[in-house]
Amino acid sequence: MLTDIEIARSVKLRNIADVAGEMGIAPDQLETYGHYMAKVPVKYIDKGKMSRHHLVLVTAISPTKAGNGKTTVSVGLALGMNRLGKKTIVALREPSLGPCFGMKGGAAGGGYAQVLPMDKINLHFTGDFHAITTANNMISALLDNYIHQHEGEGFRLKQKLWRRVLDINDRSLRQVITGLGGPGNGPISQTGFDITPASEIMAIMCLATSIDDLHRRIENILLGFTYDDKPFTVKDLGVAGSITVLLKDAFDPNLVQTTEGTPAFVHCGPFANIAHGCNSVVATEMALTLGDYVVTEAGFGADLGAEKFYNIKCRKTGLHPDLTVLVVTAQALKMHGGVDYEVIKKPNVEAVRRGLWNLDKHVRNIKRFGQSIVVAFNHYSFDTPEEIAVVRDHCINDLGVGFAVNDAFSQGGEGAASLARAVVDAVEHNPSGPLRLSYEDSDSIEHKIEAIAMGIYGAGKVTCDAPARAMLKRIYSLGLGHYPVCIAKTQYSFSTDAKAYGNTDGYDFQVRDLVIDRGAEMIVVIAGNILRMPGLPKSPQACRIDLVGGEIMGLS
């Protein structure tokens, strides 16, 4: 089979104006980036039309180093549904350069279920990530300048909270000292870098519903505390307007197409392990305005991405999925059943059975939100009929949920036909009930953390380190206890230990720190040893990406 990028190059792309025209968008309303990418103005969002259309969320069981192929399933499902005559649009996050050149090599789907042009989407795309990075670091520069210019008047910050960001994995930047070299270089400060997808600006871009809302949220960003314990914000800095200007063009959703020429909105890209893991509200709403069905995804496992989709994105917007699709692979089940990564491609029916506990836990969690479920078995060539049958029988007979095999990677929309039929049947005959959230806005921050850590992850207790306890007092003093929580923890386990693949129920959930995202209106909970600036692996994907004869190689 051809590689992902070879398949992408083999597809004859449609002019993006034609793709937009089929949705009723006039060509002169597009801001085009070449022939195959465009931004669509948010004015096209129509709440009335949205309410008549269907939203399908794609999530997964706990991932492994092999990946679950969630984006491939999302794109493939949209292709399959369009083949059934359902006007379907897929709405996804933008890839980050960090994992693209680190572990993954790309994040635009795979095989014959991709969003295109995949090379541009995986690299600089329409410049959204650069705009977000620049806006974040512009605030840093303006804040340091303000301190430098006003320190003679006695202005100082007792606690500086704002950090710089960069969209690459660079462990050396996690902790840095700025301002060295004398007074002319600004105040000396211990600070650091997070990766751009973990930034508050990224979260704000995802959750803002209009340019005015974007401006309001930027004003509210908490930068630090003065020596008399007063909060210092971007509004106090007086630069919210200029930061909004930097983000103005990036705020409109990006329209691209799939390998079969159907519309796809790809916009913003927070990670789900260290951020809230959902694409932008405006992209989802745009897709729901223009399509009868919308397929969207939430990052990593359902304990992270789906939980945050429901408890943060849906809570803030009133969105609610008609169905949740849970992606499972035999490889992941084998790893969760105790098989080493090096041999998970070998047939092992008993290991698949042992790993079903992970699937079961995710199904129970999703049902707690009131969601109907279809399990999508993402098929690989080395999976055996016996392994597939074990999962099918368990889903139908023991769990009482829908099941279908997905072959979109190798067959495109045709390979997703059975999954598409299962999804349409569930939406039309057994849709999800009202969304049941894990906690109320009025609950304490401690209760909210416990509701997720103990109710979703299976922790036995929650403990808070001293920095978290100190920040908790800040949260309540600022009157922000009504915010939802966004837990940052490893994606590989229900626990905070990335190597704990088995059942971890009863463990101690350690809260190391809390971060106030006042503009995004949520509290980020730093759990265990999770880092918001990843490092590169021993053999990064960058070693395999190259330009050969004018063509990019190594992206996937």
The per-residue pLDDT for range 64-88, each reduced to its tens digit, is 888 889 999 999 999 999 999 999 9
Q: Reply yes or no on whether the pLDDT at 527 is more than 90.
A: yes
Q: What is the pLDDT of residue 187?
A: 84
Q: Quote the pLDDT of residue 501.
A: 83
Nearest alpha-carbon partner for 432 in 319, 551, 285: 319
Query: Is residue 390 over pLDDT 90?
Result: yes
Strands (E), 305-446: 323-328, 373-378, 402-406
426 or 501: which carries more pLDDT confidence? 426
**Residue 532 CB contacts under 8 Å (≥ 6 apart), including other chains:** 194, 195, 198, 274, 488, 526
Q: Which of 199, 99, 122 is nearest to 536 (CA)?
A: 99
pLDDT > 90? residue 233: yes
In angstroms, the CA 17 to CA 214 distance is: 28
What pLDDT sits at residue 6?
Answer: 95
Q: Is the pLDDT of residue 388 over 90?
A: yes
3-state percent breakdown (helix, strand, coil) of the chain, nearest 5: 40, 20, 40
The per-residue pLDDT for range 84-142, each reduced to its tens digit, is: 999 999 999 999 999 999 988 999 999 999 999 999 999 999 999 999 999 999 999 99
Asked whether the predicted pLDDT for residue 504 surpasses 90, the reply is yes
Looking at residue 544, the DSSP 8-state letter turns out to be G
The per-residue pLDDT of the chain, averaged, comes to 96
DSSP β-bridge partners for residue 296: 57, 91
Would you say residue 183 has pLDDT above 90?
Answer: no
Q: Is the pLDDT of residue 186 over 90?
A: no
pLDDT band of 502, cuts 50, 70, 90: confident
Where does residue 199 fall: left (phi above 0), alpha (psi -120 to 50 degrees), or beta otherwise?
beta
Question: What is the mean pLDDT of the segment spanning 364-383?
Answer: 97
For residues 151-160, average pLDDT: 93
Q: b vs e for 371-404, b when ≥16 Cβ sit within 10 Å of the residue's Cβ?
A: bbbbbbbbbeeebeeebbebbbebbeeebebbbb
Q: For residue 314, give the 3-state DSSP assignment.
A: helix
Q: State residue 519's pLDDT score.
A: 98
d(CA 74, CA 327): 9
Report pLDDT for 424: 98
Share of the chain above pLDDT 90, in %: 96
Type and span of the H or E element at 18 = helix 16-21
| Residue 61: count of CB within 10 angstroms of its CB | 27
Exposure b/e, 481-510, CB count within 10 A at least 16 = b:
bebbbbbbbbbbbbbbeeeebeebeebebb
Identify the band that residue 458 occupies on the pLDDT scale cut at 50, 70 and 90. very high
Burial status of residue 538 (CB atoms within 10 A of its CB: 0-12, 13-18, 19 or more) = exposed
Is residue 536's pLDDT more than 90?
Answer: yes
Do residues 417 and 83 touch, judged by C-beta distance below 8 A? yes
- Is residue 510 within 8 A of residue 527, CB to CB? The reply is yes
Q: Whole-angstrom Cα distance, residue 363 to residue 325?
A: 10
Distance CA 495, CA 509 (A): 7
Give the Cα separation of 118 and 423 in Å (integer): 26
412/75 Cα distance (integer angstroms): 9
* Structure-token pair, residue 411: 């067959």
**Token reading at 272:** 């789900």
Q: What percent of the chain has pLDDT over 70?
A: 100
Positive or negative: CA dihedral 447, 453, 456, 461: negative
